[in-house]
Amino acid sequence: MAEKSEKSEKKVSITLVRERLNAAPIVIGTGFKLRPEKGTGLLDVFIEGLGQKSARVCFDPVIVRTNLDMLKRYAAGILTDPDDSAPKEDVPATEQVYFSNVIHLSQTGGRAETIFGVFRLAEWVEATQKTDGKPAQITTSDSFVVMSSPGWQKKFVLELLLALSHHSKE
């Protein structure tokens, strides 16, 4: 008879602290396209800018997947209709690629800010292994910022949720 060992999942609360060492590139978002990279598990986010070059963010959704309920609640709290003209079939790619593994979202009045940030995975591992009872904290750095309307951001978050749910099933 084989022994069965049970592992319980450890839940850890981690606070993300944004660090702004340098000003991250900013674009006024008018459109976007999401494209899953099946081989890597990453998500390419192409951002179309108003009178600016488009941008490409290579997004690692591993951490965001653990917080999908929070993302859903945020989208539901944006009190405007999603901008259905924001998703695009084609957004020209650029040579410059920004990496991100976390997203910070905020909006007020007629403006929304979507910040793609990055943190060190080693910090995440250390934070999840803490046993001293103190709240874990990780520092993130902004890598790319999109300023937009709240409707654009709401549509982006809804499409991101959809892409992540489809991508995790593949």
Residue for token pair 């319980």: 8
Structural domain contains residue 11: no
Structural domain contains residue 10: no
Structural domain contains residue 8: no
Structural domain contains residue 3: no
For residue 4, the model assigns a pLDDT of: 42
Q: Copy the structure tokens of residue 40.
A: 């890597």
Q: Over the chain (170 residues), what is each successive 10-residue block's mean pLDDT?
A: 48 72 88 91 92 89 87 93 93 84 92 93 78 79 94 96 74
Structural domain contains residue 13: no
For residue 136, the model assigns a pLDDT of: 81
**The one-letter amino acid at 10:** K
Is residue 59 a contact partner of residue 164, using CB atoms and an 8 Å limit?
Answer: no
Structural domain contains residue 112: yes
For residue 130, the model assigns a pLDDT of: 73
E strand segments, the chain: 14-19, 26-37, 42-49, 55-59, 97-100, 102-108, 111-118, 136-148
Structural domain contains residue 101: yes
Structural domain contains residue 30: yes
The Cα diameter of the chain in Å comes to: 69
- Work out how many domains the chain is built from and give that number: 1
For residue 5, the model assigns a pLDDT of: 42
SS3 166: helix
Mention every residue, 6+ apart, whose C-beta is less than 8 A from residue 153.
Answer: 29, 78, 105, 107, 112, 113, 114, 146
Q: By C-alpha distance, which of 136, 134, 138 is closest to 117?
A: 138
Q: How many C-alpha atoms does 95 have within 13 Å on its Cβ side?
A: 0
Residue for token pair 């902004």: 142
**Residue 163 β-bridge partners:** none
**The one-letter amino acid at 37:** E
Range of the domain at 48: 25-130+138-169
